[in-house]
A and B are shown apart, each in its own frame.
Chain A
Amino acid sequence: MNAARPVEQALWWLAAIPATMVIFVGFGLPLVQSVVASFTRDGVLTLANYELVYRLYRQDVVYTVQVAAAGLALTFGIGIPLSGYLRLHHSQTAEFLLKVPLFVPFVVVGHAMRIFLAPRGTLLVGLHALGLASPDTTLAISEGALGLSMALAWKHLALVVLLLMGAFRGVSEEYLEAARGFGAGTFRQIWAVLVPMAAPSIGLAVVLSLTSMLASFSIPLMMTKGSGPQMLMIDLYYRYGQHGDIGVASAIGVVSYLLAAGAAYYYLKGIAR
C-alpha cells in the first residue's frame, strides 16, 4: 500500500486516542500512582509502608509463593503427562472435558471449590456415594493451602493443557516414530522427545501460570476464612478496603509486581541462553 499521507496519518492517530486514553487513565496512571503511593505516607517520601509490609506480611509473601509453587507443581505434574498422553493417544472426550475450566470464571471456580472441598463438602458426598468414605469422615482441605492450590490448578490446567497440546503437536511425528523404533513406550516418548522439544513453550506456560497464581485474588477471596496466613492479594484488599490504607496496599502491590517480574525475568534469561 502506498505511504499514508500526513493528513490521513493524523486522522489515524486521532482515532486511536480514545482506546489509548482508556488504558492510560484506567491502567497506566494508576500503575504509576501505586508505585508513588507505596513510597509516600502523609505526603512525605518514606519507606515506612515497606517496613510495615515486612513486619506484618513477610510470612504471607512466603505463603503466597508456596501456594503458587504447589499450584504450579500440581498443574504441570498432571498437565505434562496428560498432554503428552493425549498427543500420542488422541481422545476427543478427554480433550473436550479439559477445555471446560477455561469457560468457568475465576469467582465461580472459587465458590465451587469452596463447597466441593468443605469439611462436609460435595466431594465427600461423591466419595460417600461411591462407597469410598464413611459418613462420619470430614475433610479439612478447603481453607488451607492445599485447597487453594488445588483450586488454582483446576482453573489453570485447562489453559496449560491447551498450550502444551499445541506445542506437542508441533513436534514432528518422525521423531516419535524413531523413538518407537527403538522401543520407546508412551512414557519414554513424552520425557525423551516431547518435553525437551517443547521446552520453550512449557517455560512460557509456567511463567504465565505462575504470575497468574501469584496475583490470584478472586479464588482465594471466595475460599479463605479470616484466620491464618493469607495470599498477598487478600492482604492488599483488606488493607485498602477495611483500613483505607492505600500506601501499604500499594507497597504490597509493588511486591507482587516484583514477584511477577522475577518470574518473567527467569523465563527471558532462559530463552536468551
Chain B
Amino acid sequence: MAGSATPNMRDRPRGLSTLVFRAALVAVLLGAIVGPLAGLVLWSVAERWHWPAMLPQQIGLKYWIRITQGDLLTALNRSVTIATVTTVAALVAAIPVSYGAARARLPLGPVLLMLFLLPQAFPQLPVFASATVLFYRWNLAGTFAGVVLIHMVGGLVYTVWTMTAVFRAIGEDVEEAAINLGASVTRTFFRISLPLAFPGVVASAILVFIYSLDEFTGTLLVGAPYVTTLPVYMYTASLGYELQIASVTALVLMVPGVLLLVLLERFLRAEYLAFFGRL
C-alpha cells in the first residue's frame, strides 16, 4: 500500500504553490461536502426564517425538543425497533447460508449467494411496488411484519456476503482439530467457528442495522399508511414544508452513520466501506 508510510513520494521539496493548491483542494471539499449538511443544522434551529434575511431571525431548540415527544419520538422508537428485529432476523437467517457456502457444505452454494445479490442488481422500486400488491393479498401491507420482511430482503445481502467472507477467513484446520478430538460438527460450529467469527458478526449487524434505519423505498410502499419510520416521517414533514422538522429528523438519521464512520476509521477494515455506497 502506498501512502501511509511515504505521504509524499516526490523527492524534491514541496513548493509554495503545491501547498496552496492542497489547501485550496481541502477548502473546496470542505465547502462542497460539509456545506449541504451545514444547511440542515441551520434549518433545524431556525425558529423563524423569512426572506430576505440571510440568517434565521430567531434561533432556538424548539424543533429539537420534538424528538422527546409526540410523533417524532414515536417514529424514532418504531425505527429502532424495526432495525433491531431486522438485524437479529437477518443474522440468524444468514448464518447457515453463509457458513454452508463458505465450507462448501451447501450444494449450489455459489448460486444461492448470487440470489442474495439480486435486490442490489435490480431497480428496487418496481419490485417493491409489486411486492406491496402481493403483501396486501397476504395481509402483510401496513404491518410491522411486512416492513421487517421488506427490510430483510435488502439486509440479507449485507449479512450473507460479509458473513461468508468472515467464515472463509477462519481456518478450517481449527475446526478439523475439534472434530478430530471428537466434537460433533454442530458443537464445533457453536463452540469454535461462531466465537471466532464474532467480530464479523458485529460488523454485519451494524451494517444491517443502519441499512434498516435508513431504508425508505420499501417502507414507504409496504408500511403505508400505518408504519411510519424516521425516513418516511422526514419525507412527510418535507412534503408539508415543515423544513425544520425534516432537518431535525435528517440530522437524527445521520447520527449512527457518523458514529460508524469514526469507528471504522479506528477499528474496522476498509473492505466493509464499499457496502455503504448502497445505503
Please judge, given known A-B contacts A1-B172, A20-B97, A115-B39, whether A31 and B127 are in contact too, CB under 8 Å: yes
Most chain A C-beta atoms within 10 Å of own C-beta, residue among B123, B129, B253: B123
| CB of A262 within 8 Å of the partner chain | no
Q: In chain A between 237 and 273, which residues have their CB closer than 8 angstroms to a CB of chain B? A: 237, 240-241, 246, 249-250, 252-254, 256-257, 260, 264
Instruction: Decide if A108 touches B253 in the complex (CB within 8 Å).
Output: yes
A102 touches B153 (CB 8 A): no
* A interface footprint on B95-127 (CB within 8 Å = 1, 0 otherwise): 011001001011100001001101101111111
Is B9 interfacial (CB 8 A cutoff)? yes
Chain A binder among B57-65, B67-75, B196-204, B242-250: B242-250
Decide: B107 and A9 in contact? CB cutoff 8 A.
Answer: yes
* A169 and B1 form a contact (CB under 8 A): yes
A27/B127 in contact, CB under 8 A: yes
Contacts of B123 in A (CB 8 A): 211, 214-215, 233, 253, 256-257, 260
Check if B118 sits within 8 Å of A23, measured CB to CB: yes
Contact residues on A (Cβ < 8 Å of other chain), bracket: 35 or more
A163 touches B274 (CB 8 A): yes
User: Which residue of the partner chain A has the closest CB to B11?
Assistant: A180
What separation, in Å, do the CA atoms of A112 and B190 have in the docked complex? 46
**Least Cβ distance of B40 to chain A in Å?**
5
What is the bound-complex CA distance between A8 and B184, given in angstroms? 11
Given contacts A105-B253, A158-B277, A217-B217, contact A253 B130 (CB under 8 A): yes
Q: How large is the interface on B (under 10, 10 to 19, 20 to 34, 35 or more residues)?
A: 35 or more
- Which B residues lie within 8 Å of A240 (CB)? 129, 221
B277 and A159 within 8 A (CB):
yes
Choice from A16, A163, A252, A256 contacting B112 with Cβ under 8 Å: A16
Q: Give A263 to B29 CA distance when docked, in angstroms.
A: 30
Measured between alpha carbons, how far is A263 from B156 in the docked complex, in Å? 25
Contact residues in A for B216 (Cβ distance below 8 Å): 105-107, 218
| Contact partner, A111, options B250, B258, B265, Cβ 8 Å | B250
A115 to chain B, nearest CB (A): 5
The reply to whether A122 and B122 form a contact with Cβ atoms under 8 Å apart is: no
Question: Pick the contact of B130 from A34, A129, A169 — CB < 8 Å?
Answer: A34
Given A8-B185, A236-B126, A254-B126, A103 and B258 contact (CB-CB distance below 8 Å): yes
Chain B residues within an 8 Å CB radius of A69? none
Asked if B105 and A12 make an inter-chain contact with CB atoms under 8 angstroms apart, the answer reads yes
Q: Which residues does chain B contribute within 8 Å of A237, judged by CB atoms?
A: 125, 129
Closest to A8 in B: B185
Per the bound structure, the CA–CA distance linking A176 and B126 in Å amounts to 46
A89 interface residue (CB < 8 Å to B): yes
Chain A residue nearest in CB terms to B138: A25
Neighbour of B126 across the interface among A1, A211, A253, CB < 8 A: A253
Given A89-B8, A221-B235, A26-B130 contact (CB < 8 Å): no
Closest 6 CB pairs of A and B: A253-B126, A159-B277, A122-B39, A103-B257, A15-B96, A215-B123
Question: Which A residues lie at the B interface, using CB under 8 A?
Answer: 1, 4, 8-9, 12-13, 15-16, 18-20, 22-23, 25-31, 33-34, 37, 85, 87-91, 93-94, 96-109, 111-116, 120-123, 125-126, 128-129, 135-136, 154, 156, 158-159, 162-163, 169, 173, 176, 180, 208, 211-212, 214-215, 217-218, 221-222, 233, 236-237, 240-241, 246, 249-250, 252-254, 256-257, 260, 264
